[in-house]
Amino acid sequence: MDILNLLTMAVWTVCGVVLLFVLMYVDSLFTKYNDLEELRAGNMAVTTRFVLKLLAQSYILSTAISASRQLGEALIVTVVSFLLLLVMERVVRLLLSRWGKLELDHGTQLGKVGYGLLSGMLHVAGALIISAMI
């Protein structure tokens, strides 16, 4: 591995971390509670959801980087995948709310770990489906 490869790896890593931070922030705007306040308060349901959400986004980014030859392409694919994941999650949440009477955000905020786990796994399942298409 030469110095150019090492520099490229560093640039891609920094860009990936920045993008993950932005995507996690944007996603937190769509919850009915403040993710960081709940994390600081020790809410394990929110922590579980947050960790699984981060895993899902990281997996999508990893797949996009592996499939791309250019950094810009990988970042765009990741953003588009995030938007698809956001739409998919909203549709499933709506269906669970209407048919199953499950309010995932409310249950997660109350600290019900099962709700946080289910909510986070929606992200992981979506990430696996989306990544298969990258």
Q: 96 exposed, middle or buried (CB, 10 Å; 0-12, 13-18, 19+)? A: middle
Q: pLDDT band at 1, cuts 50/70/90?
A: confident
Average of per-residue pLDDT across 109-123: 96
pTM reported for the whole predicted model: 0.89
Statement: residue 18 has pLDDT above 80 = yes
Cα end-to-end span (Å), the chain: 27
Q: Note the pLDDT of residue 47.
A: 97
Average of per-residue pLDDT across 64-75: 91
Q: What percent of the chain is predicted at pLDDT more than 90?
A: 87
Query: Residue ranges per domain, the chain?
Result: 3-132
Average of per-residue pLDDT across 78-92: 93
Average of per-residue pLDDT across 111-133: 95
Closest to 16 measured CA to CA, from 81, 49, 60 = 60
Cβ-based neighbour number of residue 5 at 10 Å: 9
